[in-house]
Amino acid sequence: MADNLNIMDAGKLVACCVALAFSVCSASFAQEAEQVEATRRVWGLIPVVRNNPCTERYRQLAVSPPLQGTSHGDEGYPWRVLYGYCVAQNGRLTLHQDWVVSYFDATAQGDAQGGEGVSIGTDIGFQWRHKQGASLTPYYELGGGIQYAAGTAFPAHGSRWMFTVNIGVGVLVPLTPTLQFNTAIRYLHISNARLFPDNAGYDAFHMVIGVRW
């Protein structure tokens, strides 16, 4: 139980750090007063997270294969494996975190050489669920995160540190009293947000297939 609590505390800290990173990057193009205000608002999220503990301490494991998309560097799309859990909760609104490992097998395009690559990162997002039913529970999600790309494939014409943005809709289907089947369609964008001269990335629809317990 203590290990689970430590994992949850670490997740909350990572969630706040990711949010702070987004604030700093987006505010770098603004005036100094706007930077201070943006940072203050992000730090203000910390007590909100701490004061809304999860009433459902679930875990989630899923795979996320690509369906269709557009690549802006090497021609190819990553498969993703996600391990996630609840960070904070208020009624049917959940702050959810995923740890992500993705595998990218790219075909050469133009002067991009292609090759294999592995990325690791984390996504933070909000999930809003309809009232849970006997057969299924629909939900909507919106989030983003960061990832680090290793290897030679995905960073072609870009950077190793990338940002992710995703939006999706899914359903939870009860299998047992403590186990749910989870599936979703998610739109995923990955790029470095033009923080560097080269901004390779991709936009694609992914399917999410997994279980929640």
Report pLDDT for 41. 60
84 has a pLDDT exceeding 80: yes
Does residue 92 sit within a domain? Answer: yes
Q: Is the dihedral of CA 72, 77, 80, 85 positive or negative?
A: positive
Query: Would residue 79 count as lying in a domain?
Result: yes
**Is residue 3 in a domain?**
no
Domain that holds residue 208: 53-212
| Residue 135 pLDDT | 85
CATH number of residue 62's parent domain: 2.40.160.20
Q: What is the pLDDT of residues 3-16, one digit of tens each?
A: 444 545 555 555 55
Higher per-residue confidence, 16 vs 2: 16
Query: Does residue 2 form part of some domain?
Result: no
Q: Is the pLDDT score of 148 beyond 70?
A: yes
Q: How many domains does the chain have?
A: 1
Residue 50 has pLDDT above 90, yes or no: no
The predicted pLDDT at position 126 comes to 95
| CA 168 to chain CA mean position, Å | 11
Q: What pLDDT score does 107 carry? A: 63
Residue 157 inside a domain? The answer is yes
> How many whole angstroms separate alpha carbon 42 and alpha carbon 46?
8
How far apart, in whole angstroms, are the C-alpha atoms of residue 9 and residue 3?
10
pLDDT value at residue 24: 45
30 domain-assigned: no
Orientation of helix 2-27 relative to helix 32-43, angle to 10°: 170
**Higher-scoring residue by pLDDT: 131, 153:** 131
Could you tell me if residue 182 is inside a domain?
yes
Upper half-sphere CA count for residue 95 (Cβ side, 13 Å) = 23
The kind and range of the H/E element at 92 are none
Tell me, yes or no, whether 20 lies in a domain.
no
**Is pLDDT at 29 greater than 50 in this prediction?**
no
For the full predicted model, state whether its pTM sits above 0.75. no
pLDDT > 60? residue 20? no
Q: How far apart are the C-alpha atoms of 67 and 77, rounded to whole Å?
A: 9
